[in-house]
Amino acid sequence: MYRISLITGDGIGPEISDAVMDVLQTINDNLGLKLEIKKLEAGDVALRKTGKALPDSTLETIKKSDACLKAPVGESAADVIVVLRRILDLYANIRPAKSYPNMPALKQNIDLVIVRENTEDLYTGMEFDIGDSAIALRTISKDASNRIARYAFKTAAQRNRQRKVTCVHKSNVMRKTDGLFSRSCQEISKEHADIEFEQMYVDACAMNLIRQPESFDVIVTTNLFGDILSDEAAQVVGGLGMAAAANIGNNFALFEPVHGAAFDIAGKQAANPSSFILSAKMMFEWLAMKNDDKKCYQVAKAIEDAVYGVVRDGTKTKDIGGNKTTREFAEQVISRIT
């Protein structure tokens, strides 16, 4: 039995959370994997109700669970996800981008994953006003760079695809910070002679993601660049509505869509729940690996097959060229989990 904490979030969060809840219930009922799901509040609604974007009770329940699913939150996002990443030391942000049949992808043979450092860079909130100017401090440490580089090489070996790691930075301009990141990745590459290693400036990477996305296998990069490149990569394979992510630490992991709360379509049943359902798929893969549990692998595969089977057969939400509502799409996915 696995205890799963589920933050329902803001904007489209509650709608896509309903879809995920139904998928998890179906897994419990049809696939025989026992799950105990605790719905939790965090974000703008929680802030209004309790005065805290991340209420203590939510944090305590997450800590007692085996893994956390988190829907997007709104304005208070930084007070939820950035804090959770820090408290739970979720240092690796994993964002896959893969083309599937009948999806509006740039090319049909894309299969890459972005491994983004999750704890430092310009996202630590160290910003200051100085007179009429504002400054931000960028921290890049050797320990964090080594740790994420090791994770990237491990991922390339496990995927066993092109067996290639591309280190992305801008060390010709940010010589100290990105220089350190680049050297650290280079150093760790020596521990993995069987994995190809290349380096690329971030502007070139942004261009190559459009020009030849199929040439990438594993991209390892710093926090801000990873945030931007993963939105781009998501669009290259069909858009944010399909984009799932994992935040992984040594002992715990949190899974969430790449996109934000999308207030423009909230409450209209217009959201594509795939991003969150596929985040649950990533959760079961992680649980499978952590606990050496084959059943979880089967569940992850069943979720992936169901989502992409539905899309392949032409059932789609508006963002990917269809006319199904969030609920209708989710019902089709659920009907395939048997």
* Catalytic positions: 123, 170, 203, 227, 231
Q: How far is the CB of 238 from ligand ATP (least distance, A)?
A: 11
Residue 260 touches ligand ATP, criterion: CB under 6 A? yes
Q: Give dist(CA 332, CA 35) in Å, integer.
A: 21
- 110: nearest Cα among 160, 38, 161: 161
Beta strands in 170-207 (DSSP E): 196-201
- 168: nearest Cα among 99, 79, 128, 228: 228
Q: Give dist(CA 19, CA 331) in Å, integer.
A: 8
Q: Which x/- pattern, by CB under 6 A, does the window 49-88 give for ligand ATP?
A: ----------------------------x-----------
Residue 322 touches ligand ATP, criterion: CB under 6 A? no
Asked whether 317 and 271 are in contact (CB, 8 A), the reply is yes
Q: Give dist(CA 153, CA 132) in Å, integer.
A: 44
Identity of the residue, 167 or 280, whose beta carbon is nearer to ligand ATP in the bound complex:
280
- 188: nearest Cα among 149, 158, 157: 149
Identity of the residue, 202 or 261, whose beta carbon is nearer to ligand ATP in the bound complex:
261
Residue 259 touches ligand ATP, criterion: CB under 6 A? yes
Residue 271 touches ligand ATP, criterion: CB under 6 A? yes
Asked whether 94 and 114 are in contact (CB, 8 A), the reply is yes
Identity of the residue, 72 or 213, whose beta carbon is nearer to ligand ATP in the bound complex:
72
Q: Give dist(CA 7, CA 73) in Å, integer.
A: 9
Residue 307 touches ligand ATP, criterion: CB under 6 A? no
Sole window of 54-62, 128-136, 153-161, 263-271 interacting with ligand ATP (rule: CB under 6 A): 263-271
Residue 309 touches ligand ATP, criterion: CB under 6 A? no
Structure tokens of 23?
């998928």
Residue 42 touches ligand ATP, criterion: CB under 6 A? no
| Phi, psi (deg, nearest 5) at residue 179 | -60, -45
How many CB atoms lie under 10 A from the CB of residue 264?
9
Distances in whole angstroms, Cα of residue 306 to Cα of each of 200, 236, 312, 321, 337:
36, 22, 10, 18, 6
Burial readout 217-238 (b: 16 or more C-beta within 10 A, e: otherwise): bbbbbbbebbbebbbebbbbbb
Sole window of 30-38, 142-150, 183-191, 260-268 interacting with ligand ATP (rule: CB under 6 A): 260-268
Residue 319 touches ligand ATP, criterion: CB under 6 A? yes
Q: Give dist(CA 118, CA 144) in Å, integer.
A: 9
Q: How far is the CB of 275 from ligand ATP (least distance, A)?
A: 5
Residue 98 touches ligand ATP, criterion: CB under 6 A? no
Q: Which x/- pattern, by CB under 6 A, does the window 155-194 give for ligand ATP?
A: ----------------------------------------
Identity of the residue, 31 or 82, whose beta carbon is nearer to ligand ATP in the bound complex:
82
Residue 324 touches ligand ATP, criterion: CB under 6 A? no
Residue 27 touches ligand ATP, criterion: CB under 6 A? no
| Phi, psi (deg, nearest 5) at residue 259 | -75, 170
Q: How far is the CB of 229 from ligand ATP (least distance, A)?
A: 14
Residue 240 touches ligand ATP, criterion: CB under 6 A? yes
Identity of the residue, 159 or 318, whose beta carbon is nearer to ligand ATP in the bound complex:
318
Residue 24 touches ligand ATP, criterion: CB under 6 A? no
Q: How far is the CB of 265 from ligand ATP (least distance, A)?
A: 5
How many CB atoms lie under 10 A from the CB of residue 322?
16
Residue 226 touches ligand ATP, criterion: CB under 6 A? no
Structure tokens of 139?
């921290």
Q: Give dist(CA 305, CA 327) in Å, integer.
A: 18
Identity of the residue, 213 or 241, whose beta carbon is nearer to ligand ATP in the bound complex:
241
Residues that bind ligand ATP (CB under 6 A): 12, 77, 240-241, 259-262, 264-265, 271-272, 275, 319
